[in-house]
Amino acid sequence: MAIDEGCRRAVEKMMEIPMSMIEYMWETKRLDREMMRNSEIREERERAVKKARERALKQGIEQGKDQGVLLNLVTIVLKKAKKGMRAAEIAGMLEEKVACIQTILKIKEEHPDYTEEQIAMKMISKSFYPATLRNKERLNEENGKFPFA
């Protein structure tokens, strides 16, 4: 019978708790669950941002490599052309397509004041050199310079 008496007293104590307090406890519990969900969403968002940054960095590195290769090609082609070599000879020696070499020489002919970087930028902007087209929107075309150069 002592157990029944203890249960009765516990029920009486619980009955004394105002309804507003019970509602407050339920609301607190609901807000706690919502905060946990928001925390999970925030963590997922942070993971997505980190992954996007890593992908962008990797893409930027690849773009930089491609631009470096193109700039090197332009430099060599212009040096060889200055020595009197023809586009076909240069293409054969460098194992590049004749059309690519001709494009470099044509841009230099049309714009004799262009630097090697500006010629490379022109090729990229006109889609002449596909390897560098992955992220050409990140290039700074206003001053003809490669980013981070």
Residues of the chain under the 70 pLDDT cut:
1, 127-149
pLDDT at 25: 87
Give me the pLDDT at residue 110, please. Answer: 93
Global pTM reads 0.56
Measured CA to CA in angstroms, residue 26 lies from 13, 20, 29, 32, 141 at distances of 18, 10, 5, 10, 60
**pLDDT given at position 1:** 54
The pLDDT tens digits for 5-40 are 888 888 888 778 888 888 888 899 988 888 888 888
